[in-house]
Amino acid sequence: MAAAAPTRMYCEVTKNEGAFANQIFFEIEGDTARVVDGNILNEAGRPIPARIRENSAKKLTISWDVMLTNNRGQQTTMAYRAAVLKESNRVILTAKPHGYSNNFTARGRCLQTQNPLPGS
């Protein structure tokens, strides 16, 4: 029996407070996930593991952390969360820098794709 192919999604971020790349890619295979965007490719050079928080008929919620470095060399870990509403394919993104009280949000739309994740 052949294993099911992973589900891959391409998400375009349209309403962005600046903490998100314009494009984010997800891959879900069973109970594991990977994510990649321009920030991740810049820092890690490849997709990174993500955690599936919910995968119901209505919603897929994924979270991941990325260590980011600004142009002055300061580093912080950013905690990201994406909630994909399956009926409408809308995505709601949040980001919170560890150790700070501010939050960032973004919205967009996701589509399933057969293309491999960038940097794979």
Structural domains counted in the chain: 1
SS in 3 state form for 19-61?
CCCCEEEEEEECCEEEEEEHHHHHHCCCCEEEEEEEECCCEEE
Whole-number Å distance between alpha carbons of 85 and 78: 23
Predicted pLDDT of residue 73: 85
Which structural domain range is residue 29 located in? 7-113
Q: 23 in a domain, yes or no?
A: yes
Q: 2 in a domain, yes or no?
A: no
Q: 1 in a domain, yes or no?
A: no
Q: 120 in a domain, yes or no?
A: no
Predicted pLDDT of residue 110: 97
pLDDT digits (tens, 9 = 90+) for 22-40: 999 999 999 999 999 998 9
- Does this model's pTM top 0.85? My answer is yes
Cα separations in angstroms, 18 against 30, 53, 55, 67: 31, 24, 27, 16
Is the sign of the CA dihedral 63, 47, 85, 80 positive or negative?
positive
Residue type, 92: I
Q: Residue 60: which CATH number?
A: 2.40.128
